[in-house]
């Protein structure tokens, strides 16, 4: 087991000017499950591949434990990687696939068999050991790929979107299995996904990347409660946080007929005439017409327990689309009007010009 550090690690691909990963600074604790998340092209795979030794590092350093591995070849880093497409050998049995790296390393047959059987037991694959990959379901193949990583007992697991080939239901059950397995084995893990729900449910901490730059690294709770900027605010949470540009008034910011209190300090920190207020769909209360912001209901998405109202409100001179979560048993009619107020303590304020969080 080991800590992992990205120390201002930078990757500039040959023939490009802008770094794909720019001065990445992350320290991962021993045994921690860290998720790298962000939109397509933000540099997740590049970061992981730098750690794996599959990509050159053009600036900064990478450490595993107290070893500087920046320029070590992959085989000397003591890591195991699980890819999106599993990359199983089709002509080999499950057992041979799982034991292959050990065989290459010259481990004797009896020891390989023992390690493979142990891993198969953990992953519930014992009865499939003699099958070929093509005779397995997607979820079972995914577990074989995990098994191949586990038998090597590496210091660090690296996983790049390992669940993206699975259907929605299997993805949910497998993500729970991976998270609990990781906790049981206690092996430091860096996990890449573009799915913020996966990131939030699996990670001890989550690192959000955009355009090669780290936006925030935090626990899932803090990521949700205190997004550091507009990008993270809009990225984490589903449906996304409502973000509305509003004028600054005395004592706070005006949101429809209600004034959202904001600390003076936060407002003094900006010279903008407006700020951007964020409220998650689940943080509105239904109010009477006197107080709230009037929302015209366009579409209602019923999910059973809850429903999401997609509506339009007039904010200042603009009309603005909003999403509001309501009780699934008390759903407004399409075309009707709803009055909403942001729940106190559940509003976020950001600088409109820089995107930085202003409220604490
Ligand atoms: N070999 C390469 N040569 C040049 N540019 C590359 C190369 N590989 C990746 N890039 C660029 O580097 C940036 C980061 O790519 P990367 O694969 O790390 O993104 P990602 O976050 O993993 O995206 P996705 O979610 O789509 O897998 C992208 O702009 C991509 O086009
Ligand atoms: Mg990728």
CATH of the domain at 169: 3.40.50.300
* 332 DSSP 8-state letter: P
Contact between 9 and 47 under an 8 Å Cβ cutoff? The reply is yes
- Same domain for 275 and 226: no
**pLDDT confidence of 130, banded at 50, 70, 90?**
very high
Dist CA 189 CA 187 (whole Å): 6
- Same domain for 269 and 213: no
Domain that residue 300 falls in: 242-351
**pLDDT confidence of 232, banded at 50, 70, 90?**
very high
pLDDT of residue 269 exceeding 80 = no
**pLDDT confidence of 173, banded at 50, 70, 90?**
confident
In the block, tokens 């003591």 appear at 78
Using a pLDDT cut of 70, give the percent of the chain over it.
98
155 inside domain: yes
- Report the number of distinct structural domains present in the chain: 2
What digits encode the pLDDT tens for the residues 82-118? 887 778 999 999 999 999 999 998 999 999 999 999 9
Q: Dig out the tokens for 277 from the structure.
A: 């207020």
Contact between 303 and 352 under an 8 Å Cβ cutoff? The reply is no
99 inside domain: yes
360 inside domain: no
Dist CA 313 CA 303 (whole Å): 23
- Same domain for 181 and 61: yes
Q: Whose CA is nearest to atom 22 of ligand 1?
A: 45
**pLDDT confidence of 69, banded at 50, 70, 90?**
very high
Q: Whose CA is nearest to atom 4 of ligand 1?
A: 13
Least-confidence region, from 55-64, 84-93, 259-268, 312-321: 259-268
Q: Give residues with Cβ within 8 angstroms of 162, minimum separation 6.
A: 82, 83, 84, 86, 142, 145, 146, 178, 191
Report pLDDT for 26.
98
Mean predicted lDDT score pLDDT of the chain: 92
Q: Tell me the average pLDDT across 156-175.
A: 88
Got the DSSP string for 17-57?
SS-SEEEEEEEE-TT-EEEEE-STTSSHHHHHHHHHTSS--
- Picking from 198, 231, 264, the residue at the C-terminal end of a domain is 231
Is the pTM above the cut of 0.85? yes
pLDDT of residue 61 exceeding 80 = yes
Least-confidence region, from 35-39, 167-171, 201-205, 263-267: 263-267
Cis omega before residue 239 (within 30°)? yes
Atom of ligand 1 nearest to the CA of 11: 12
- Same domain for 204 and 271: no
- Same domain for 174 and 320: no
Bridge partners of 351? 275
- Picking from 183, 202, 231, the residue at the C-terminal end of a domain is 231
- Same domain for 145 and 274: no
Report pLDDT for 86.
77
Cβ–ligand 1 distance for 45 under 6 Å, the answer: yes
Cβ–ligand 1 distance for 14 under 6 Å, the answer: no
pLDDT of residue 268 exceeding 80 = no
Q: Give residues with Cβ within 8 angstroms of 290, minimum separation 6.
A: 257
Q: Counting Cβ atoms within 10 Å, is residue 7 exposed (0-12), middle (13-18) or buried (19+)?
A: middle
Least-confidence region, from 189-193, 262-266, 355-359: 262-266
Strand order in the sheet with 4-11: 21-28, 4-11, 59-64, 67-68
Q: Tell me the average pLDDT across 45-65.
A: 97
Contact between 197 and 238 under an 8 Å Cβ cutoff? The reply is yes
Q: Whose CA is nearest to atom 25 of ligand 1?
A: 40
Cβ count near 306 (within 10 Å)? 15
Q: Tell me the average pLDDT across 271-293.
A: 87
Q: Whose CA is nearest to atom 30 of ligand 1?
A: 41
Q: Dig out the tokens for 111 from the structure.
A: 């020891």
- Same domain for 218 and 255: no
| Largest Cα span, the chain | 78
227 inside domain: yes
Report pLDDT for 158.
96
CA distances from 98 to 109, 150, 190 (A): 13, 9, 21
357 inside domain: no
- Same domain for 118 and 44: yes
pLDDT of residue 169 exceeding 90 = no
- Picking from 184, 205, 231, the residue at the C-terminal end of a domain is 231
Cβ count near 84 (within 10 Å)? 16
- Same domain for 200 and 165: yes
Report pLDDT for 131.
95
Cβ–ligand 1 distance for 292 under 6 Å, the answer: no
CA of residue 268 to ligand 2 center, whole Å: 40
Cβ count near 149 (within 10 Å)? 22
What is the number of alpha carbons within 13 Å of residue 169 lying toward its C-beta?
A: 0
Q: Give residues with Cβ within 8 angstroms of 256, minimum separation 6.
A: 292, 293, 294, 313, 315, 340, 341
Q: Whose CA is nearest to atom 26 of ligand 1?
A: 40
CA of residue 40 to ligand 2 center, whole Å: 7
Report pLDDT for 289.
80
Domain at 275, CATH number: 2.40.50.140
- Same domain for 92 and 175: yes
CA of residue 13 to ligand 1 center, whole Å: 9
Least-confidence region, from 129-143, 165-179, 276-290: 165-179
- Same domain for 195 and 248: no
20 inside domain: yes
- Same domain for 179 and 35: yes
358 inside domain: no
Report pLDDT for 273.
77
Q: Tell me the average pLDDT across 218-246.
A: 95
266 inside domain: yes
Report pLDDT for 55.
96
Report pLDDT for 199.
96
Bridge partners of 324? 309
CA of residue 42 to ligand 1 center, whole Å: 7
């Amino acid at each position: 087991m080991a800590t992992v550090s990205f120390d201002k690690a930078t990757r500039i691909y040959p023939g490009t000017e802008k770094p794909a990963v720019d001065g990445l600074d992350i320290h991962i604790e021993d045994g921690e499950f860290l998720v790298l998340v962000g939109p397509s092209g933000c540099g997740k795979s590049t970061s992981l591949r730098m750690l794996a030794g599959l990509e050159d590092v053009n600036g900064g350093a990478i450490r595993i434990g107290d070893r500087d591995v920046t320029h070590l070849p992959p085989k000397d880093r003591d890591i195991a990687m699980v890819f999106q497409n599993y990359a199983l050998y089709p002509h080999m049995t499950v057992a041979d696939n799982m034991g292959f790296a050990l065989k290459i390393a010259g481990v004797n047959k009896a020891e390989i068999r023992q390690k493979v059987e142990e891993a198969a037991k953990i992953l519930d694959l014992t009865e499939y050991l003699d099958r070929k990959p093509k005779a397995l379901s997607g979820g079972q193949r995914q577990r074989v790929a995990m098994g191949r990583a586990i038998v090597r007992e590496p210091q660090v697991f690296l996983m790049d979107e390992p669940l993206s080939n699975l259907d929605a239901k299997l993805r949910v059950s497998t993500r729970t299995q991976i998270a609990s397995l990781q906790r049981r084995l206690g092996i430091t893990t860096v996990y890449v996904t573009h799915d913020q729900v996966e990131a939030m449910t699996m990670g001890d901490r989550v690192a959000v990347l955009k355009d090669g730059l780290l936006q925030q690294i935090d626990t899932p709770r803090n990521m949700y409660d205190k997004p550091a900027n507009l990008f993270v605010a809009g990225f984490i949470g589903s449906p996304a946080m409502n973000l509305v540009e509003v004028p600054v008034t005395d004592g706070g910011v005006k949101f429809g007929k209600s004034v959202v209190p904001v600390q003076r300090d936060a407002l003094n920190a900006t010279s903008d005439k407006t700020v951007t207020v964020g409220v998650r769909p689940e943080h509105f209360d239904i109010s009477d017409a006197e107080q709230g912001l009037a929302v015209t209901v366009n579409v209602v998405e019923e999910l059973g327990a809850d429903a999401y109202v997609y509506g339009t409100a007039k904010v200042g001179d603009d009309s603005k689309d909003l999403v509001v979560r309501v009780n699934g048993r008390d759903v407004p009619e399409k075309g009707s009007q709803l009055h909403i107020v942001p729940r106190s303590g559940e509003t976020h304020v950001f600088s409109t010009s820089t995107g930085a969080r202003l409220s604490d």
